[in-house]
Structure 1
Amino acid sequence: MRLALRRVLTGLPGTGPVLVACSGGADSLALAAATAFVAPRLGRPAGLVTVDHGLQAGSAERAEAVAGWARAEGLDPVEVLPVRVDGRPGGPEASAREARYEALIAVARRYDAAGVLLGHTRDDQAETVLLALARGAGPRGLSGMPQRRDVTGVPLLRPLLDVPRADTRAACEALGLDPWADPHNADPAYARARVRTGALPALVEALGPAVVANLARTAGLLAADNAALDALADTALADVRTEAGGLSVAGLAGLPAAVRTRVLHAWARELGATPAALSHSHVAALDALVTAWHGQGPVHLPGNHRVRRQAGHLLP
């Protein structure tokens, strides 16, 4: 774990601290302990942030206990961030995730952090791929979680994506740490919990233990392919733009389907379509304006935006 973290931290730009997002579970607690060991040896300040979602009895006390441990380990700054989950759109899992990332990004900006460290493991990556398969996701969804993703200028870093979850538990045991077991992780009301406790173990039993690493490797391979296709799409989008602010239908029709749909997806987001609500069906409807045109009306996009075909152009 320390070697995996060292690879991510070595050469990380900026002089600000790295902040570990730590719930107190085995994965993030082991990552925080590794950070407390590795970061000072690299000359990098390191702190810890624990988010209290307020969804379970005793959550505030657990958050304070994690913060107290972090201070004793020499991590600085250390912050407890209470967040409000109720009243957000979407289910409880998505709402909690949105609130958590908002809080993490805000505190990272306040400290001018070089990055926020997240404790997702190889097992988490395999679960993400299985969930994406179940949803019928394309290559972007199947590429799973990236090791680095910048959100409004804040790098979110996942050093443990090649580390099995068993190693984080073993690290906690070796260090004498007592991680918290979140009951939500085994609650069948959540799809990820059902994958973790049922679907993935069944695959391991049927296909062997290598299935977890193979699923995670698939995500990495698809991520590389996606990056190449996205670069082609960026160039193609610039080529098919028109002076009227639309896109050339003839230019779009000449693109490979994998590039064309990426162009349409990127353009829809430029128009203001809500990213979380922009689905395959919306992009397919835009694509039909190019490839299956029979005089149909405009396509309605999330966020109350419309796209129509007129005189050989797609226009907002």
Structure 2
Amino acid sequence: MARIPAPVAAVRSAVRRCLADLPTDALVLVACSGGADSLSLAAAARFVLGRAGLVTVDHGLQEGSDRRARSVAAWARDAGFDPVRVSTVTVTGRPGGPEAAARTARYEALEAAAGEFGAAAVLLGHTRDDQAETVLLALARGAGPRGLSGMPERRGVFRRPMLDVARADTRKACAALGLAPWEDPHNTDPAYARSRVRGTALPTLVAELGPAVVGNLARTAALVAVDNAALDELAAAALEQSRSAAGLSVPVLAGLLAAVRGRVLHRWARELGAPGGALAYSHVIALDALVTGWHGQGSVFLPAGIGVERRGSDLVRVVPAHIK
């Protein structure tokens, strides 16, 4: 019996491990662009799973993207995937930059397909290298522990089996299986921050610090994610303990550890209606100052026209004067 090439075995093992909790007859969808990462993931899923479907998303951002999507779908049907879906999305007109808008549209399409087909999970092809890049971007943006925790292995219906698999191994797996991956030109376009990290920043770190830096960055994300989960659990309980008839109790908040109090204030701001994408570190710091640095300052203004002020021993929501 021929020996399975190590990269092929690595991707297959990652898929088995990630989906070990699902029933053998559960339908799993693979999100596949046709690139080496998602193509090797799709091949592994088809080998490992009893039921595997595939979704490829056409963002319409490149000439011929529709042909590429149809080609991926045709390969999937020939390989035995069922169902197979080409989801065409509209990216223009969405908030955020082109990367964020495309990502939002893609996840919406994948989630809709999972709901339509009754899939137990949707597999995403992010690798250890992607995780390392995410950590570097988070560091550069001052994102804090939540950003440094990187991409979770699981969130909702989505799962990322290959966060411990090197990108180079996905290419080797494709070569071993005779698969011809598509090279997305956006991955090398310096207009995108992630492309610059991928093409210049991370390779420079590897050259200066050694190849282990990629795995070390990815492991940092895993370690920080565990700590974040613990702090979030503490913050959820502390938020309930901090509630008062008017809003939040300042004395209770003042008695919390700073790391927990910041999370409590962030959660409360979200409850009040502040959108997560617009709620910044500066907003939480301003709320915290109402607790720990109180000297009679006025209201703190959060995104979406939300005001918060200190009244006696409480933080309370107020309606800003300009929108009364």
TM-score by length of 2: 0.93
Correspondence for 2:254: 253
| Alignment counterpart, residue 23 of structure 1, candidates 28, 33, 45 | 33
Correspondence for 2:300: 299
Report the Cα distance in structure 2 between the residues aligned to 1:117 and 1:251, rounded to whole angstroms: 42
| Alignment counterpart, residue 87 of structure 1, candidates 86, 89, 93 | 93
Report the Cα distance in structure 2 between the residues aligned to 1:113 and 1:296, rounded to whole angstroms: 52
* Superposition map of 1:190-269 within 5 A: 190-244=192-246, 246-269=247-270
Report the Cα distance in structure 1 between the residues aligned to 2:134 and 2:307, rounded to whole angstroms: 32
Report the Cα distance in structure 2 between the residues aligned to 1:247 and 1:146, rounded to whole angstroms: 31
Correspondence for 1:133: 139
* CA deviation vs aligned residue, 1:55-108 (integer Å, no higher than 9, x gap): 001000000000010111111110000000001111111110011111111111
Correspondence for 2:15: 5
Report the Cα distance in structure 1 between the residues aligned to 2:288 and 2:231, rounded to whole angstroms: 17
* Superposition map of 1:46-65 within 5 A: 46-65=52-71
Measured after TM superposition, the shift of residue 15 of structure 1 is 5.5
* CA deviation vs aligned residue, 1:162-197 (integer Å, no higher than 9, x gap): 000001000100010110000000000000000000
Report the Cα distance in structure 1 between the residues aligned to 2:300 and 2:80, rounded to whole angstroms: 55
Rate the CA distance shift 1:239–1:216 in 2: closer, same or farther, 3 A: same
Please identify, of 121-130 and 279-288, the stretch whose mean Cα deviation from structure 2 is larger: 279-288
| Alpha-carbon RMSD | 1.0
Rate the CA distance shift 1:208–1:72 in 2: closer, same or farther, 3 A: same
Over the matched positions of the two proteins, sequence identity in percent amounts to 69
Correspondence for 1:173: 175
Report the Cα distance in structure 1 between the residues aligned to 2:224 and 2:106, rounded to whole angstroms: 27
User: Conserved in 2, the CA contact under 8 Å of 1:298 and 1:306?
Assistant: yes
Structure 2 residue 310 is the aligned partner of structure 1 residue 309: yes
Measured after TM superposition, the shift of residue 12 of structure 1 is 2.3
Structure 2 residue 105 is the aligned partner of structure 1 residue 104: no
SS of corresponding position for 2:179: coil
| Structure 1 counterpart of 2:110, one-letter code | L
Rate the CA distance shift 1:113–1:307 in 2: closer, same or farther, 3 A: same
| Structure 1 counterpart of 2:256, one-letter code | L
Report the Cα distance in structure 2 between the residues aligned to 1:197 and 1:276, rounded to whole angstroms: 27
SS of corresponding position for 2:134: helix
TM-score by length of 1: 0.95
| Structure 1 counterpart of 2:274, one-letter code | A
Query: Which runs of at least 4 in structure 1 moved beyond 6 Å after TM superposition?
Result: none
SS of corresponding position for 2:164: coil
Measured after TM superposition, the shift of residue 308 of structure 1 is 1.2
Measured after TM superposition, the shift of residue 287 of structure 1 is 0.7
* Count of aligned residue pairs for this structure pair: 307
